[in-house]
């Protein structure tokens, strides 16, 4: 169904308002019902408010809660894109939307230098003046990047995994966060898959497009989507699994490509092939395909389910994976709502305090749990939680990989 067609399914029950974390945190946002289906009726005639719409964080909690299936967040993002065609986005929003592009432009600079260039006090002051809050937990470039590190590994090992004929091939869509900032999570997945005898194909894909959508650059997101579909086409034709470690990437590839770009039906071909990497790895252990077994987990842990994972309705495969196969693991499910960061939302100067207020319940739950380490599937969730609790945070696959004997 085209998201616009879901407008008339809204019964004005206000369930979405009750579940919206931003509505609870600030009065600057009119709430998902008013900015979404209610305003959409006016936007169809070239009217409707714009300013309050900017406070929608695209966290998807309204979509999760809506009993009528209205795609509220998609309506809001489509409206934001239309507003950005009328009112040009700021340089700040362009930077936050095009982080992967900037990373590619600076990839020739040695990572330690680019990290210092990005995070030193002078740069942070300049970014603060542009509207990126100096307090925000910006990520540092990986040294080396995931793709550079992967090339180094392949050069050392020759032709990859010699056991690939036994189990076949899988495609890994790393997304921009793993590619540019969090190589450790990407290598954890590659290690686990190769231990099970799979060849891991990692094509040179683009950003999934979600940061572009969230900041109003829908046309750029469409270009990224079509580029990714073309790059992945040989593997789609073979029916190979496409694994992601990022819930936002999975959400875009599985569902939102078809919703944002219905005029490109070929994008929907990706949906049945996309799998959560934790779910896939769990299947390997369940079927006995991975001979390595994890040792007992030494730390007390707490797990946070990202909003974009919950929006897919596929459970918490990372939490289930660890509980099922790690002996003696002590891991609590936080169940404390959104962390507030919502991709780049919490980096913005006028949103930083809102994002902090949104995540307050989660931060308190982490601190009160007594956990030594936080696990969550989303990269920016990890940044946000660590910044506000002082606890280290990792992807569940990193924790699992480090426990293997």
Q: What pTM does this model have?
A: 0.94
The angle, 0 to 180 degrees and rounded to 10, between the axes of the packed helices 183-195 and 277-286 is 30
Query: pLDDT digit of tens for each residue in the chain (405 aa)?
Result: 677 777 889 999 999 999 999 999 999 898 998 888 877 766 666 655 566 688 999 999 999 999 999 999 999 999 899 888 888 899 999 999 999 999 988 888 887 888 888 889 999 999 999 999 999 999 999 988 899 999 988 888 765 555 445 589 999 999 999 999 999 999 999 999 999 999 999 999 999 999 999 999 999 999 999 999 999 999 999 999 999 999 999 999 999 999 999 999 999 999 999 999 999 999 999 999 988 899 999 899 999 999 999 999 999 999 999 999 999 999 999 999 999 999 999 999 999 999 999 999 999 999 999 999 999 999 999 999 999 999 999 999 999 999 996
Residue 262 DSSP one-character state: T
261 and 326 in contact (C-beta within 8 Å)?
Answer: no
Residue 55 is assigned to a structural domain of this protein:
yes
Domain with 77, as residue range(s), is 3-86
Residue 191 is assigned to a structural domain of this protein:
no
Residue 177 is assigned to a structural domain of this protein:
no
Give the CATH number of the domain where residue 14 resides.
1.10.1060.10
Question: Which of 40, 55, 86 corresponds to the end of one domain?
Answer: 86
Structure tokens at 342: 């919502």
Residue 58 is assigned to a structural domain of this protein:
yes
Question: Which of 35, 70, 86 corresponds to the end of one domain?
Answer: 86
Give the CATH number of the domain where residue 303 resides.
3.40.50
Residue 214 is assigned to a structural domain of this protein:
no
> 332 phi and psi, to 5 degrees?
-100, 140
Give ∠ CA 310-233-246 in degrees, rounded to 5.
25
**Residue of 59, 39, 37, 35 lying closest to 47 (CA atoms):** 39
CA distance 405 to 403: 6
Question: Which of 39, 64, 86 corresponds to the end of one domain?
Answer: 86
DSSP codes of every residue in 362-376 = HHHHHHHHT-SEEEE
Residue 330 is assigned to a structural domain of this protein:
yes
Residue 181 is assigned to a structural domain of this protein:
no
Residue 226 is assigned to a structural domain of this protein:
no
- The total number of structural domains that make up the chain: 2
């Amino acid at each position: 169904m085209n998201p616009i067609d879901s407008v008339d399914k809204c019964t004005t029950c206000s369930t979405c308002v009750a579940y919206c974390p931003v509505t609870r945190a600030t009065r600057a946002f009119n709430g998902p019902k008013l900015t979404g289906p209610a305003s959409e009726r006016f936007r169809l005639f070239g009217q409707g408010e714009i300013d309050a719409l900017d406070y929608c964080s695209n966290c998807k909690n309204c979509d999760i809660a809506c009993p009528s299936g209205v795609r509220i967040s998609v309506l809001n993002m489509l409206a934001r894109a239309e507003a950005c065609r009328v009112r040009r986005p700021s340089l700040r929003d362009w930077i936050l939307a095009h982080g992967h592009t900037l990373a590619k432009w600076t990839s020739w600079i040695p990572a330690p230098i680019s990290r210092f260039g990005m995070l030193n006090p002078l740069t942070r002051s300049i970014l603060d003046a542009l509207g990126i809050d100096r307090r925000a937990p910006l990520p540092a470039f990986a040294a080396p990047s995931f793709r550079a590190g992967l090339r180094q590994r392949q050069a050392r090992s020759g032709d990859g995994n010699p056991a690939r004929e036994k189990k076949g091939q899988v495609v890994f869509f790393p997304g921009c966060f793993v590619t540019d900032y969090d190589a450790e999570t990407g290598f954890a997945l590659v290690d686990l898959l190769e231990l099970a005898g799979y060849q891991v194909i990692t094509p040179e894909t683009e950003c999934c497009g979600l940061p572009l959508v969230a900041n109003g650059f829908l046309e750029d997101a469409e270009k990224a989507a079509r580029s990714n579909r073309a790059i992945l086409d040989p593997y789609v034709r073979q029916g190979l699994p496409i694994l992601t470690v990022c819930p936002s990437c999975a959400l875009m590839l599985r569902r939102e490509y078809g919703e944002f770009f219905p005029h490109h039906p070929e994008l929907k071909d990706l949906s049945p092939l996309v799998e959560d990497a934790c779910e896939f790895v769990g299947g390997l252990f369940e079927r006995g395909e991975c001979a390595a077994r994890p040792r007992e987990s030494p730390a007390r842990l707490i797990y946070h389910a990202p909003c974009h994972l919950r929006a897919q309705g596929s459970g918490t495969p990372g939490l289930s994976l660890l509980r099922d196969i790690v002996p003696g693991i002590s891991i609590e499910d936080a169940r404390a709502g959104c962390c507030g960061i919502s991709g780049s939302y919490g980096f913005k100067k006028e949103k930083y305090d809102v994002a902090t207020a949104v995540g307050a319940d989660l931060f308190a739950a982490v601190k009160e749990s007594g956990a030594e380490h936080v696990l969550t599937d989303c990269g920016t969730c990890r940044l946000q939680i660590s910044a506000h609790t002082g606890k280290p945070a990792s992807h569940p696959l990193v924790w699992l990989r480090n426990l293997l004997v």
